[in-house]
């Protein structure tokens, strides 16, 4: 079982928008702006970083739910930063408030839900081969 994760624990990550992070990479008729799936991936990674220091050996956190809004577009080479903060824990799931910014502009926000699992048991339970 994971250690107690303090409410307010934070994690973050950032990336520079590359072509493969844009809508154009998925379809040539779409604009070259940061995609919502990439924004969500960044939010989930920040959530992982918020919880991982509290995991025991062999444990990781996995995403279980998302509720986010992508408000503003950003283009190639923009530096985007995600921050996740633990808001609550119900005994099984952690809810984290997430925001993504570019400079002082908020690009997106919302909540994600994550659970801490033993990776070996998780892979075995779902019949997923180890990498």
Catalytic position from the list 22, 45, 49, 70: 70
Q: 43 with 112: CB under 8 angstroms?
A: yes
**Are residues 122 and 62 in contact, defined by beta-carbon separation less than 8 angstroms?**
yes
Sheet containing 10-16: order of strands: 10-16, 79-89, 94-102, 105-118, 59-70
Candidates 36, 64, 87, 120; catalytic one: 36
- Which one from 44, 83, 85, 102 is the annotated catalytic residue? 44
Let me know if 44 is a catalytic residue.
yes
Q: DSSP labels for 83-117? A: EEEEEEE-SS-EEEEEEEEETTEEEEEEEEEEEEE
Is 70 an active-site residue?
A: yes
Q: Known catalytic residues? A: 36, 44, 70
């Amino acid at each position: 079982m994971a250690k107690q994760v303090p409410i307010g624990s934070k994690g973050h990550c950032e990336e520079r928008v590359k072509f493969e992070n844009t809508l154009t990479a998925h379809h040539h008729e779409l604009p070259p702006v940061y995609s919502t799936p990439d924004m969500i991936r960044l939010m989930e990674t920040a959530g992982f970083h918020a919880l991982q220091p509290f995991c025991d050996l062999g444990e990781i956190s996995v995403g279980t739910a998302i509720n986010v809004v992508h408000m503003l577009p950003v283009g190639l080479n923009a530096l985007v930063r995600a921050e996740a903060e633990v808001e609550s824990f119900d005994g099984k799931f952690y809810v984290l408030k997430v925001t993504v910014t570019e400079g002082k502009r908020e690009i997106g926000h919302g909540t994600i839900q994550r659970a801490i699992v033993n990776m070996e048991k998780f892979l075995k339970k779902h019949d997923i081969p180890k990498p």
